[in-house]
Amino acid sequence: MTRWFAPGRINVIGEHTDYNDGFVLPMALAMGCTATIEDAGDGWTVVSAQAPEPVTVAPSGLEDRAEVPEWASYVLGALWLLRDDGVEVPALRIEVDSDVPSGAGLSSSAALVCSVVRALDDHLGLRLGDDGLLDLSRRVENDAVGAPTGGMDQLISLRGEAGHALFCDMRDLTSQPVPFDPSAAGLTLLVVDTRAPHRHADGEYAARRSGCEEAARRLGVRALRDVTDAEAAVARLDDEELQRYVRHVVTEDDRVLAAVRVLREGRLAELGPMLSESHASMRDDFRITVPEVDTAVEALMGAGAIGARMTGGGFGGCVIGLLPDDAVEASGDDVRRAFADAGYGEPALFTASAEAGARPV
């Protein structure tokens, strides 16, 4: 029997920059998914503590790919891809159990995929190595499930380090841990799960991605990461939507680099305004926030946060705020009150710290 845990994540800063070959600064959470793998008599069986029915497929059958429920394709996807790569995968029973809320923008999918991929690598003695594990985890989401995501979530789930955020260059997939311990600065990282229903998240995400690719094509660069002067690039485009996308991505890359600088120099409080600028850029230029998310950010700032922003792909999900320790309790009350006043459902609040990435348990 082989068992691995892989965490969900919060992205501290750097949103929708990963598929533009840019920079991100995520951290791993304490919550995550545990995958347990055992040899089994027949076929591949996947069982989820969060799903009512187990799913069993015959390893030989390709035709059943379209028929499995989506959650199971995040697990079976790894087996299908390994088999397509020529790896002989025996009959297995895979059990998964996750405490990452799904649809909250905390990357429950990367936790699921990475726990399974690490456990498979271990159980089958594949020795995929750091790059191979990341590559397989990304292909599960992009190729097997078909979600056009950018790779940040798998990277942090596999490589996270306790007490650190991970500065990732999504072009060459290198990463460096950066100290991130708000408690040492008398600050708390508060997470507000708005529980806002995701609105057209898949289609809107794909539209942002293809818009960025189109803008890069028109600007004659490989990816928006290669644009150095946002305003000069904006002036060369005549499409208002693409102008906004470029402005967001290029300034967000700059904010990640600035955030890494202040964290390395031990000036964590200076991160606050960068978080708020990032949020404004997502709201006004990239247009991926929703009213619940903006309300949470405003309530946190009104309650004394030094910075707050939506984290993750957008159109719902979570907001993070950096607050002086003594402002945390009252800020929670303020957020709840703002939600009640606006007629939104009750949000969930919790504090977070940077934890380790995937590990055997």
Q: What character string, x for contact with ligand GAF (CB under 6 A) and - otherwise, covers 106-125? A: -x------------------
Across-strand partners of 125?
none
Residue number, 201 or 338, with CB nearest to ligand GAF: 201
Q: How far is CA 62 from CA 40, 58, 59, 124, 180, in A?
A: 20, 9, 8, 21, 45
Count of residues of this chain found to bind ligand GAF when the rule CB under 6 A is applied: 13
Residue number, 15 or 334, with CB nearest to ligand GAF: 15
Residue 70, both tokens: 């989506």
Residue number, 55 or 144, with CB nearest to ligand GAF: 144
For the CB of residue 148, give the shortest distance to ligand GAF in the complex, in Å.
9
Q: What character string, x for contact with ligand GAF (CB under 6 A) and - otherwise, covers 275-314? A: -------------------------------------xx-
Stretch that binds ligand GAF, among 13-21, 73-81, 85-93, 158-166 (CB under 6 A): 13-21
Rounded to whole angstroms, the maximal C-alpha distance in the chain is: 63
For the CB of residue 182, give the shortest distance to ligand GAF in the complex, in Å.
21
Mind telling me the catalytic residues?
153
Length of the chain: 361
Helix, strand, coil percentages, rounded to 5, for the chain: 45, 25, 30
Q: What is the number of H-type helices and E-type strands within the chain?
A: 10, 12
For the CB of residue 18, give the shortest distance to ligand GAF in the complex, in Å.
5
Q: What character string, x for contact with ligand GAF (CB under 6 A) and - otherwise, covers 61-100? A: ----------------------------------------
Residues 123 to 182: which contact ligand GAF by CB under 6 A?
A: 149-153
For the CB of residue 131, give the shortest distance to ligand GAF in the complex, in Å.
18
Residues 14 to 33: which contact ligand GAF by CB under 6 A?
A: 15-16, 18-19
For 206, list phi and psi in degrees, rounded to 5.
Answer: -60, -35
Pairing assessment for the beta strands 359-360 and 348-352 based on DSSP bridges: unpaired
For the CB of residue 313, give the shortest distance to ligand GAF in the complex, in Å.
3
CA 226, CA 85: separation in Å to the nearest integer? 33
Contact in structure between 320 and 191 (CB atoms under 8 Å): yes
Helix (H) or strand (E) holding 121: helix 108-123
- Residue for token pair 């187990």: 54
Instruction: List residues binding ligand GAF (CB under 6 A).
Output: 11, 15-16, 18-19, 107, 149-153, 312-313
